[in-house]
Amino acid sequence: MRATGSRRLLLIRLLVAALVPLGSLAMALPAWAGSALSAWRINREGALELRTSPNSSAQAFFEEGRGGVGPRVWVDLPGAPQRTRTIPGSGVVRQVRVGRPNASTTRLVVEFQPGTRLDPRGLKLLGTSRDRWRMDFGAVAAGLAPLGEGDLEAPSAPSWRATVPERAVLPSGPVPSAASLPDVPRGRYKVVIDPGHGGPDPGAVGIGGLRETDVVLDVSLQVAQLLQAKGIQVLLTRTSEVDVDLPPRVALANNSRSDAFLSIHANALSMARPDVNGIETFYFESARSRNLAQAVQEQMLAISPGSPDRGARPGRFFVIRRTVMPAALAEMGFVTGQLDSPRLADPAFRRRMAVAIATGILNYFLQNP
């Protein structure tokens, strides 16, 4: 999602893909201590590259320049560096700073010269493997000079995997079918289902390389089929691994005059926090949106015993804030969670989740005719 104001969240978490080796530009590695950041560089192609601990989370931000200060891009990673420092830049890069905004975070800041123009719409931090990241700076790349710290070419370390309990992980019993869903008047309702992320944006990547985009597309397609079987007209914002920006998703929904909109996602936190699990659903302001979120939240919890109830609560995500019909955004569990992740990876559980979400939508229509 995107933040408001001059700061825009440009987070795209780890994408598992082959890394194309580049000539090393690294200097001697400073002491990073407990930081997830192991090395960084601005390469000859004008892109920022990072090497991190395997399966680390990362957040990237952009801030426009003002008051004689150039624009900045920064990346926050888990773990604090042993020392902070400023590295002089060259060309359009004024300087690079390694900071410690709090006791558990490393912040790498690339500050550009005043007057440099960056297009935040093209700035994406992409995971190119489980411990490598890349951000292309676009049109300003020609003015960038090589700069960096650490060994970007070091071999990848073994990935961390959570210890998953052998018992009581996956719900048992028969998988429900479309026949078990409640009935609503056929042909009366229209729904937009929005599978989050897609294409080069995998969303969150969790335990064992479980990708959010794979989970949500599978569940969303099944939800659509289940609703169609009940006489609901369904529109999907995507049906394959393609990148769809947020405004087109909203435009499709608003132009369709749908009766409800549901965006489907999977949550994530640091890979160092497998203890964090849970299901939550967001809505924006209206009573009908709240009712939709509550109906879906109730059903998702019912098929995921032991997963914490994080509630149906207000949120300001773009796709639910800009849609004109009742809208909600469902987070089916944490791909980084020790309890949730193996469930979300299981096809039978995904089917249960699809039935649950479809049931929640149908219950909403029954309760809000």
Going by their DSSP bridges, the two strands 59-63 and 7-9 should be labelled as: antiparallel
Instruction: For residue 86, give its domain range.
Output: 7-149
Which one of 104, 129, 149 terminates a domain? 149
Q: Say how far apart CA 254 and CA 136 lie, in whole Å.
A: 33
CATH number, residue 129: 2.60.40
How many CB atoms sit inside 10 A of residue 31's CB?
A: 8
Please give the C-alpha separations between residue 263 and each of 8, 50, 111, 250, 266, in angstroms, as whole numbers: 21, 31, 35, 10, 10
Collapsing DSSP states into helix, strand and coil, what is residue 150?
A: coil
The secondary structure of residue 327, as a DSSP letter, is: E
* 49 and 185 housed in the same domain: no
CATH number, residue 261: 3.40.630.40
Going by their DSSP bridges, the two strands 126-129 and 132-136 should be labelled as: antiparallel
Q: State pLDDT tens for residues 216-235.
A: 999 999 999 999 999 999 99
* 130 and 220 housed in the same domain: no
Burial class (CB in 10 A: 0-12, 13-18, 19+), 176: middle
pTM strictly above 0.75: no
Asked if residue 89 is part of any domain, the answer here is yes
Q: Say how far apart CA 58 and CA 38 lie, in whole Å.
A: 13
- Residues 6+ positions from 348 with CB-CB distance below 8 Å: 170, 175
* 273 and 233 housed in the same domain: yes
Read off the pLDDT of each residue in 301-323 and give the average, rounded to a whole number. 93
Count of positions (residues) in the chain? 369
* 213 and 309 housed in the same domain: yes
Structure tokens at 24: 């090393």
Q: State pLDDT tens for residues 256-285.
A: 999 999 999 999 987 888 889 999 999 999
| Phi, psi (degrees; rounded to nearest 5) at 132 | -130, 140
pLDDT at 25: 30
Please list the helix, strand and coil fractions of the chain in percent, rounded to the nearest 5, in that order: 25, 30, 45
Structure tokens at 272: 């160092």
Known active-site residue 241: no
Asked if residue 162 is part of any domain, the answer here is no
* 33 and 144 housed in the same domain: yes
Which one of 129, 149, 169 terminates a domain? 149
How many CB atoms sit inside 10 A of residue 241's CB?
A: 16
Residue 109 reports pLDDT greater than 50: yes
Q: Say how far apart CA 122 and CA 71 lie, in whole Å.
A: 14
- Which residue reads 């469902």 in tokens? 330
| Phi, psi (degrees; rounded to nearest 5) at 224 | -60, -45
Asked if residue 362 is part of any domain, the answer here is yes
How many CB atoms sit inside 10 A of residue 122's CB?
A: 12
Asked if residue 159 is part of any domain, the answer here is no
pLDDT at 357: 98
Q: Say how far apart CA 243 and CA 259 lie, in whole Å.
A: 25
Evaluate whether 54 touches 159 at the Cβ level (below 8 Å): yes
Which uninterrupted H or E stretch holds 221? helix 212-229
Q: How many domains does the chain divide into?
A: 2
Asked if residue 348 is part of any domain, the answer here is yes
From 63, 212, 280, 331, the catalytic residue: 331
- Which residue reads 């905004």 in tokens? 101
Asked if residue 239 is part of any domain, the answer here is yes
Asked if residue 345 is part of any domain, the answer here is yes
Q: What angle do CA 206, 211, 212 make, to 5 degrees?
A: 100
Instruction: Give me the residues paired with residue 190 across strands.
Output: 233
* 40 and 129 housed in the same domain: yes
pLDDT at 318: 93
* 191 and 133 housed in the same domain: no
pLDDT at 170: 67
Instruction: Check residues 7 and 199 and name the one with the higher pLDDT.
Output: 199
* 190 and 241 housed in the same domain: yes
Least confident of 22-36, 132-146, 350-364: 22-36
Which one of 149, 169, 200 terminates a domain? 149
* 262 and 353 housed in the same domain: yes
Instruction: State the angle between helix axes of 347-367 and 287-302 in degrees (0 to 180), rounded to the nearest 10.
Output: 140
* 231 and 360 housed in the same domain: yes
* 100 and 209 housed in the same domain: no
Q: State pLDDT tens for residues 3-39.
A: 333 333 333 222 222 222 222 233 333 445 567 888 8
* 143 and 204 housed in the same domain: no
Asked if residue 2 is part of any domain, the answer here is no
